[in-house]
Every structure is written in structure tokens, then in C-alpha cells.
Amino acid sequence: MRQQGLPGTWPPARRAWQLRPLFSRAVLVALLTVSWLEGGCSKEPVPDGAANVPGRATSRAVDAAGPTPNVTGPETAASPTGVPSVPVASEPVAAVQNTLRRLAHADAVALWEFLPTPYQSDINRLVREFAEPIDEELWRRSVELLRTLHAVLTEHGDWLVHQAEAQQALARANLSEKQFLSDWRLLLDLSGELLGSSLADLHQLRNFDGRRFFQNEVTPILQRLVAEQTEPNGADVFWAELTRVRIELVRRDGDRAVLRLTLPDGPPREHAFQKVEDKWIPAAWVAEWPRFLTRTRDRLRTVQMWLGRDKKQETSALLEQWEKSVRELRAAATEQQFAQAWKRLLAALPADRTATAVPRDQSGRALHNGREPSRPLRTAVTLIVRAKPTAELMKQINQWLQQVVPENETLIDLGANRIVVIIEDAPDLQRLVPSIRFGTVTDSDVQTRTMTVKPLPARSAP
């Protein structure tokens, strides 16, 4: 069971590495640990075709800063930063090495070019299709609301961490206020960059181009963060960090290969890679890509539903409530006033509404792009527990998750008086309902795959 926090969950997940050097390690975590390990999956299987190839083990080790292995294919092209680029890498070691080298020179386009062309097209299409049905006025108001909230939280993060919900979450995560505030400031910095980028412009989203976004939006951010890592003596800490990544070609059999990557301060781990249209990418991506697209569309459909033109009147009323609550937060002159306004803001969040991601017609049938779907729109089950997230209740929920869905990814969002648990790729709802022992299921909806639970009364102490 892999747990993640929903956007806005208190607190953000604690990273295994410290935040300094700020971006060098963040890039390595994002590029290597999260993506290639698929959420820390150290049991990634080696392809059958590559695991038993006699006489093919090479034990060829290459440091990220070392000489580039011989690469066959078309001539190299220059990236926007002037660093040689290999758009068609014929060796998996070269693909990884060139990506790290370009990142070390603050060339974020390397991340985009690491993807095969069909994958790039999928992402462009995903963003454009998401933006198309969104109402422009609702989108503008939502962005302005988030920017205002961002400014408030940037100024009063120390007040926020003192709230009861935050203190309970910190205790469960075994995280100190100092550690949280360090992570919180980084999260605010990055979210502030996104709110000021082209992602906040609906017109640009409808014409989204991933290469242009990474070149014009992400590269300048990376350049500033890399500059922060330069020491007074001129030493480039970011580059030094990347030079410590060691890459070994363990085995290769045609379009399949196994690399051994050793991250800074980490043990060596082997990863299966596969060639897709002349790009070497983690084999796990090839297997997971269709499911990733389906799950992402499913999550984005919730935003589409509430910010679409059909629900403009209802969503406008909700935005008015949230705008009022955020104005009260901004006007708070004391921590006590902030706490009261924060509680009113949490009370205005409709957790049960945001859990519904399936649009319906007037008769109540689920729709997909105006048509009845040929397969289920959701692979997730949403569990809503209407109760205060006490330590004992959270223990019971976690025990249930470990017993029923030990291998599934789960996302948990905690509110003042509610707990929302999303179980990815879950079994049928009918199979989950009888297994709940920590409460009584008061409502279940097969179409939206949502169930509401009322916890059993807490046991009194003897």
C-alpha cells in the first residue's frame, strides 16, 4: 500500500533527502527515484529477454560527467543552452547520461525530449482536452483565488502550522514544525511559479505545447534554482551533485536493457529499460503509460465538471463562499482570527462533491464526451468517513487498507471532521463494503464508486 497526500493534504509527504542542495536533489528524486522506481518499487522485474543473455554482461560503468559513450544515429543537435543534445540515443547509458548532463546545465527540455514522440503527443492532447470545456470566467476566478490563498499562506505559514489539524497531521507523520516549514516554503515557491506560468492562462492551455512549456517556463526556473546552488567560490554544487550519479550497463538484448544506477548517498539499484521509437525509457513506463493516462483523465474530469459551462451557476456560488473565506484569512490580524477564518474555509470545502468525477445526463446516466461509456470511467474507489480524524480511527483505517488492498496506491485527505480515502485500481465496490469493520456504510454509489462510512462509537476506557 503506497500512500500519497492529495493536493492540499496536511502535511506534504516528507522527503527522504534534505532540501539542500535545493534543486539538484529534487531533480534527481523526480527524474530517477520517483519516475524510474515507480514510487519506490525496488522490486522492478528485469525483462525476461535481458535477464538470461549469455556473454552479454558488460559491467560498463559511466559517471554522469564522464565521456559520452559512442552514439550512433543522426548528428547531435544543440539544445537551447548550447549543450549538445542526442535526440536519438542508440544506447540506454547515453540516453540517461545526456539527460543528466543537460539538466546540469539547466536545460529542462531534456526531460521532455527523454519521452518518445507518442508520449509527448499524449501529454499535449491530455492538457488541451482538459482545457477545452472549461469556462473562462470560472477559470480566471479560480486562478485569482489560488493566487490570493498562496499569498496568505506564504505570509502566515507559521500560523497555519499551529492549527489543530496541522498539529495532528505532524504528529502522525513524526515531523517537526521546523522540518515542515522548510518543506512548506519550497512547496510554496514551486506552486507560486506555476501560478505565474502559462498553466494559469486558459488560452495557452488549449494550445499547450510541452516542448515550448519546458523551454520557456521550466528552464528559467531551473536556471534560477541552479544559480542558488553556486557557492561563493564559484563552485557549481548542482553539477557536482550530478557527477556523483553512476550508470552501469549490466545487460542488453536488442530493444531491452538493464542499467544499474547509483544515486548520491544511495545503494545501487538495477532498472529495466526499453527502447520505444529510438528513445530508451524505463520499462515500467511502457507498461504503466495507458493506465497513467486513464487515471489522470479521471482526476482532471472532476475539475472539468465543476469548472465547465454546464455548472457555472453552481460553481460560481461555491467560489463566492471560498473567496469570502480567503478574504477573511487575508484580513486576519491575529493568529486567533486566522484560526477562526481557517475553520470556516475548511467547512466550505465540499469533500463529497469533489469525490464525484463522473458527468451525468438528465436521467442520471454516466456520460463520457457526450456518450455512454463502453467501460467504467473510474478505476478508483472513494471512501468518505464523516468523523474527526483521531489517531485511533486512522489506525483502524490503515489496518483495514493493509488487509484489504495492501498493494494498491491510496491517497488520504484529512479535514476537520471528515476523512477522504481514494483507493486506486480498487476491487468492485460491492466487494469492499462487507469488509469494513471500523464503521457502518451509510451510503454507496456503484456508478461513482463512492461510499460513505459512519465510524463506530469510540471505546470507553475501562
Q: Which residue has the higher pLDDT, 56 or 214?
A: 214
Domain boundary assignment for the chain: 16-288, 381-455
Per DSSP, what are the bridge partners of residue 246? 63, 262
Q: Which residue has the higher pLDDT, 339 or 407?
A: 339
Helical (H) or strand (E) element with 443: strand 439-445
Residue 242, pLDDT above cutoff 80: no
User: For a pLDDT cut of 90, what percent of the chain falls above it?
Assistant: 15
Residue 202, pLDDT above cutoff 90: yes
pTM: predicted TM-score of the whole model, two decimal places: 0.60
Residue 269, pLDDT above cutoff 80: yes
Q: Which residue has the higher pLDDT, 460 or 319?
A: 319
Question: What 3-state class would DSSP assign to 389?
Answer: coil
Residue 71, pLDDT above cutoff 70: no
Fold category of 381-455 in CATH? Alpha-Beta Plaits (3.30.70)
Q: Which residue has the higher pLDDT, 226 or 287?
A: 287
CA distances from 235 to 152, 227, 232, 241 (A): 36, 11, 7, 11
Q: How far apart are CA 54 and CA 39, in angstroms?
A: 31
Q: What is the pLDDT of residue 17?
A: 28
Tell me the pLDDT tens digit for each residue of 98-147: 888 888 888 889 999 999 999 999 999 999 999 999 999 999 999 999 99
Q: Contact 451/359 with Cβ under 8 angstroms?
A: no
Question: What 3-state class would DSSP assign to 241?
Answer: helix
If you ran DSSP here, which 8-state letter would residue 177 be given?
Answer: H
Instruction: Please report the beta strands in 228-292, taking only residues with DSSP state E, as ranges in sequence order.
Output: 246-253, 256-262, 268-276, 279-282
- Closest CA relative to residue 291, chosen from 409, 461, 208, 431: 409
Q: What is the pLDDT of residue 73?
A: 33
